[in-house]
Structure 1
Amino acid sequence: MADPILSLTDVTLTLKGNAGAVEILHGISLDVNQGETLGLIGPSGSGKSSLLMLMGGLERATGGKVLALGQDLTAMNEDALARFRRNHMGVVFQSFHLIPTMTALENVATPLELAGAPDAFDRAEDELRAVGLGTRIDHYPSQMSGGEQQRVALARAAAPRPDILLADEPTGNLDGANGEAIMELLFGLRDKHGSTLVLVTHAPELAARCDRVVRLSDGRVEAQAKAAE
């Protein structure tokens, strides 16, 4: 059997707050296989987003080990982590995180340019057309609806053809129709590019489409099962 694309071993996360140290994650061990779609569910404050951030090297584990594509993220410095994400990961946030002074095309092309892609703008335009925004490529985020901004964010994450696609509540800020559209696009991009998808969600219909669901409670893995079970 192939090695997992993501492997967490006894991972802990403690953050410093005004009232002292706060333990967010407690000894989590979890593997994600190549091509798998994993849903992270649980109540607010259970550690779902923190766990996703650890998988992406956007938060550093206090203890334990996080491996991605066989590389130890916990041993990398910030520059090495940034290069690793640029080359292997796409991240979609609930709040979009688009650059307001850039057009949709420029937002999507930026990570491709940073990776040295000579055809960055052509690929960015292709991705925007793939998410139904062919007529909006020259628009700025402030000129687009929330659903359109999330489509831009999806295109930006997918354009570099990431091995791992991480999504934190990708439908959380959208109404039902837009949320459904983004859900279809997210799974379509996974199928198109063959990415491994890990997503945090409160939406039962989104979790139900995952290959496996892991439920967190109080910073611990409470249960995991095939999504259909």
Structure 2
Amino acid sequence: MINLVDLRLDLVGAAGQVSILKGVDLQVPAGSAVSVVGPSGSGKSSLIAVIAGIERATGGQVVVDGVDLATLDEDGLSRFRRGRLSILFQSFHLIPTLSALENVAVPLELMGRRDALTRAADALAEVGLAHRVDHYPGQMSGGEQQRTALARAIVTEPSILLADEPTGNLDRANGEHVMDLVFDLRKKLGTTLLLVTHDAALAQACDWTCRMEDGRIVTPPDSWSNPSSAGQVLAGAPA
């Protein structure tokens, strides 16, 4: 479960302090799929960064998979991400000097897993890239790179997957293929999915959708719906 209470994030830039997240309350039930939509600059990617522990909240509470992130130091946050949480980015973030197999094996190697390469090969096979294990990112198409990034994200069998515009750099056919894999693998692993997207069809494929504007969730509180109904709307925590 992801539980955010009065979450605030202020960042300091050239123009001074800027409020990015302005009191976000949100609960994502374990095993569910929730999409976050809204205009560019509304705080969606910052929300992902705070939940992942990449950015430290300025105020409020962030509890992810039962862990209050405020209680963890940087090493603790790194260990937490390795064991429980994965992120799928828009821009792939593959290491260009490593093969697909080596890229996928990285999180397992950081965990000290001796079977890292074997499990990485299995994960690449899951996303249809068994024939690309020895290829480098520059030798693969955008769709293949994103599938490699997906294999890396799921190879640790995370309890939570955060996806930040994962189809933003892909054409529609490749984007649909990647997201079909995301939803299939999520169901197989029982993973909680929080998906930031501008794609209305992707948003509706989730159990709930919440909308952000100007650093706040603006969907009305009475729109919380039964989690068994896909495509419904989520705002804050259930009553």
Q: TM-score range by the shorter chain?
A: over 0.9
1:91 is matched by which residue type in structure 2?
A: I
2:129 is aligned with 1:133: yes
- SS at the partner of 1:66? strand
1:157 is matched by which residue type in structure 2?
A: A
Deviation at 1:6, TM superposition (A): 1.0
- SS at the partner of 1:116? coil
**Partner residue of 1:38 out of 27, 34, 38:** 34
Partner of 2:66: 70
2:107 is matched by which residue type in structure 1?
A: P
Distance in structure 2 (CA, Å) of the matches to 1:115 and 1:191: 24
Distance in structure 2 (CA, Å) of the matches to 1:228 and 1:14: 30
Partner of 2:179: 183
**Partner residue of 2:158 out of 134, 156, 162:** 162
RMSD, aligned CA: 1.0
2:110 is aligned with 1:144: no
Q: TM-score, normalised by structure 1?
A: 0.96
2:88 is aligned with 1:92: yes
Contact (CA 8 Å) 2:127, 2:181: kept in 1 or not? yes
Distance in structure 2 (CA, Å) of the matches to 1:42 and 1:75: 30
Distance in structure 1 (CA, Å) of the matches to 2:232 and 2:65: 27
**Partner residue of 1:172 out of 165, 168, 174:** 168
Partner of 1:193: 189
Partner of 2:228: none
Distance in structure 1 (CA, Å) of the matches to 2:95 and 2:214: 34
Partner of 1:29: 25
1:202 is matched by which residue type in structure 2?
A: H
Distance in structure 1 (CA, Å) of the matches to 2:3 and 2:165: 22
Of stretches 135-144 and 68-77 in structure 1, the one that deviates more from structure 2 is: 68-77
Deviation at 1:75, TM superposition (A): 2.4
1:203 is matched by which residue type in structure 2?
A: D
Tell me which stretches of 4 or more aligned residues in structure 1 moved more than 3 Å.
none
Deviation at 1:228, TM superposition (A): 4.1
2:214 is aligned with 1:218: yes
Deviations 1:6-49 (A, max 9, x none): 11111100000101001000011111111010101000000011
1:51 is matched by which residue type in structure 2?
A: L
Partner of 2:110: 114
Q: TM-score, normalised by structure 2?
A: 0.92
Deviations 1:52-76 (A, max 9, x none): 1111111110001100122111221
Contact (CA 8 Å) 2:209, 2:232: kept in 1 or not? no
Distance in structure 1 (CA, Å) of the matches to 2:160 and 2:136: 27
- Unpaired runs of 5+ residues, structure 2, are 226-230, 234-239
- Unpaired runs of 5+ residues, structure 1, are none
Distance in structure 1 (CA, Å) of the matches to 2:84 and 2:20: 26
